[in-house]
Amino acid sequence: MQKRLPFFYGWMIVITMAIVTMAQTASFNPVLGIFLKPITAEFEWSRATFAGAISVGTISGGFFSIVIGPLLDKFGPRWILFLAFFFIGWAILGLSFIQELWHFYGVIISMRTIVSGVIAMSVGVVISKWFIDRRGRAQALASTGTRIGNSFMPLYVQTLISGYGWRVGAMGLGILTWSITLIPTILFLRRRPEDLGLVPDGNTDRVDSNTGDERGSSKLDLSLDRKQAMRTPAFYFILFATSSLYYGGAGINFNLFPFFTDQGIDPDTAVRVMTTWALISAVGGLLVGFLAEKIHVRFLMSGIIIVVSLGIGLLSFVNNVRTAYLFAFAHGIPWGGIPMLQQLVWADYFGRESQGAIRGVTTPVQMLMNAMGPLTTTLIFDATGSYESIFRIFAVGFMFAGLILLLAKPPNLVEITNSEN
């Protein structure tokens, strides 16, 4: 296959995974947040009741990932992602037909289980198999799909809801999900370059990843298995930091649209602010991706997280359209690098061979925190009528997570191997 192409096939994988990350935003918190007010108003539910379904599904997905991670290592993403999006599309379509609370919980839990248990880890696992030296830019380009999706999916859904109601909005979202994912995933995704007679990055000078021999690479490709990774302190520092990001990020992203409208910003303008935020994030993600090939991920990610915490602090000052756009720019640029770095850090620390198995262990914890973010945020809002206190907690939490990450010393495979003997 490589002989027929003027470029490394890994870049086809990147394009396909960018489509995957774009499509997954149909089930992400910024989009689901668009449905919050019209659905809770029609059925007279609290915001916490709505968020509860997302939380249960996200936690369920975390445990589902324990099974999916090793399957991604063994069989690759092709059929796994095809089937995942097939069922996600059905779940989103099902949202348009709900009449009772248990209907709502059924479709949202199904949707979030698949997104959190399959899609959330797949990007990092797949890209790490195909790239080593150029992993930063490859991960950044693939993750750009998330920002593109976050920029147009809320606008697309809000347009349908404004014109035809939230049920048509859900129906249109499900059809769109199918239309952009099913064909690319089944046609283009492959497990790893070696299956096509290729090597990571398309670098023909590279040799086996664990021999320690000289290779045409600026990075070591030493791979730890799951047990070895879990013996390192870095594993737990990274898990703490990334779980904190999932917690605060989910809490903010889910509530950003209702927060803006609570500040007196009309829904259409609020969506435009979120679109700007997402597009700015896409640019930031690309910049951070290239920086990740020059700066060690520990220091880069720590710095980015701390800057993001300052951006979150600006939410306390948002009270009109102008300050909302200020937040979109100040928070969006550094935030764009976070999803990419959350995927990149595991591969850079522990190698590519057992990424699925390693992420299968970390994802349940991360998804638990992801689930708790929207739930605790809406519970505090329902109790106080304000997001101000929880947003401040998120800002402090991010600052602490960035500092903790500095303690994550990269593992030494020789020391780990000696400790096993």
Tell me the domains of the chain and their CATH numbers. Answer: 2-196+223-420 (1.20.1250.20)
Mean pLDDT of the chain: 88
H/E stretch holding 321 reads helix 321-335
Task: Report yes or no: 148 and 24 within 8 Å, Cβ to Cβ.
Answer: no
Contacts 24+ apart (CB under 8 A), 41-47: 42/166, 43/101, 43/104, 45/101, 46/378, 46/382, 47/258, 47/378, 47/381, 47/382
Tokens encoding 330: 């100040």
Task: Report yes or no: 246 and 294 within 8 Å, Cβ to Cβ.
Answer: no
Average pLDDT on 367-384 reads: 89
3-state secondary structure 79-103: HHHHHHHHHHHHHHHHHCCCCCHHH
pLDDT of residue 237: 96
Distance between the two ends of the chain, CA-based, in angstroms? 42
Task: Report yes or no: 170 and 164 within 8 Å, Cβ to Cβ.
Answer: no
Per-residue confidence at 398, pLDDT binned at 50, 70, 90?
very high
Counted residue by residue, the chain has a size of: 421
Tokens encoding 376: 């605790």
Measured CA to CA, the distance from residue 168 to residue 160 in angstroms comes to 7
Per-residue pLDDT tens digits for 139-164 = 889 988 888 898 889 889 999 999 99
pLDDT of residue 101: 95
**pLDDT at residue 5 tops 70:** no
413 vs 386 pLDDT, higher one: 386
Q: Give CA 265 to chain center in angstroms.
A: 27
> Could you give the count of Cα atoms lying within 13 Å of 323 in the half-sphere of its Cβ?
14
Q: How many CB atoms lie within 10 A of CB 299?
A: 11
Residue 263, classified by CB atoms within 10 Å of its CB into exposed (0-12), middle (13-18) or buried (19+), is middle
- The model scores a pTM over 0.85: no
Per-residue pLDDT tens digits for 95-124 = 999 999 999 999 999 999 999 899 988 888
Torsion of CA 93, 95, 97, 103, to 10 degrees: 130
H/E stretch holding 153 reads helix 135-164
**pLDDT at residue 394 tops 60:** yes
Task: Report yes or no: 416 and 227 within 8 Å, Cβ to Cβ.
Answer: no
Task: Give percent of the chain with pLDDT exceeding 70.
Answer: 92
Measured CA to CA, the distance from residue 30 to residue 42 in angstroms comes to 20
Per-residue pLDDT tens digits for 309-362 = 999 999 988 999 999 999 999 999 999 889 889 888 998 899 888 888 898 899
